[in-house]
């Protein structure tokens, strides 16, 4: 977080915290989105198999097979999860992911979207990828709220990515298709369990625990 008073940080933070305090409404679901780069790694030597009382042994050397990008989406109070893989991390990739999300939820009136303020995370990206009529259709289904700079911890999808990394990505995966297979299985498990997140950190808590951000403001 910023080291001193920062009105812009506070404004964005309190806006997101207000969103998290909203009661659950299936017609206006809150969905958090985040993405992370992922390095595909292969084995330089065949691992030694597990034996009774002994773990599988991997060589410290590995083969770099390039990078890709993982997108994570979560509806905290609805228990809906989505994980996908893209070869790149461009405005076009983001636009296509958002379109797929919108089209997968035709029953909702509007999606309340929480994400960080990355330069590709803009409505303009929809216009870079789709004709104006389609871009506008998608944009009308979105109510966007950005986390502040240095405040990505406010995006619940970042928590989702951290959990995904521990549970699913804590080993070497050498190709995109295998990665997609692994994430698809992880996504299905989370959706079957309807894993939810109840956010406990409120604006009143922020004004106490992050008091240094508020000093000399107002």
Angstrom distance (rounded) from CA 169 to CA 75:
21
Identify the pLDDT of residue 56.
55
- Exposed e or buried b per residue across 29-67, where buried means at least 16 C-beta atoms within 10 angstroms of its C-beta: bbbbbbbbebebeeeeeeeeeeeeeeeeeeeeeeeeeee
Identify the pLDDT of residue 173.
84
Identify the pLDDT of residue 3.
67
Q: Which tokens hold the place of 69?
A: 């990008």
With a pLDDT cut of 70, the percent of the chain lying above it is 88
Question: Does residue 128 register a pLDDT over 80?
Answer: yes
Q: What is the 3-class SS of 46-74, one letter each residue?
A: CCECCECCECCECCCCEEEEEEEEEEEEE
Q: Give the pLDDT confidence of 165-202 residue by residue, as tens digits.
A: 888 887 778 888 989 999 999 999 999 999 899 899 99
Identify the pLDDT of residue 150.
87
Question: Does residue 48 register a pLDDT over 60?
Answer: no
Identify the pLDDT of residue 217.
65
């Amino acid at each position: 977080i910023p080291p001193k008073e920062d009105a812009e940080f506070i404004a964005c933070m309190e806006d997101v915290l207000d969103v998290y305090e909203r009661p659950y409404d299936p017609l206006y679901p809150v969905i958090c989105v985040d993405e992370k780069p992922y390095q595909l790694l292969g084995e330089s030597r065949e691992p030694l198999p597990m034996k009774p009382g002994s773990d599988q042994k991997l060589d410290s050397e590995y083969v770099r097979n390039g990078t890709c990008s993982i997108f994570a989406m979560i509806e905290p109070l609805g228990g809906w999860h989505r994980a996908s893989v893209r070869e790149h991390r461009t405005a076009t990739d983001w636009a296509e992911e958002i379109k797929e999300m919108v089209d997968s939820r035709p029953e909702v009136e509007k999606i309340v979207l929480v994400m960080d303020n990355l330069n590709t995370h803009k409505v303009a990206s929809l216009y870079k990828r789709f004709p104006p009529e389609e871009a506008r259709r998608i944009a009308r289904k979105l109510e966007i709220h950005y986390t502040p700079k240095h405040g990505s911890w406010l995006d619940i999808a970042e928590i989702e990515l951290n959990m995904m990394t521990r549970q699913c990505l804590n080993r070497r995966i050498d190709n995109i298709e295998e990665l997609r297979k692994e994430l698809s299985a992880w996504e299905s498990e989370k959706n079957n369990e309807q894993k939810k997140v109840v956010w406990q950190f409120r604006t009143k808590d922020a004004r106490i625990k992050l008091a240094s951000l508020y000093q000399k403001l107002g």
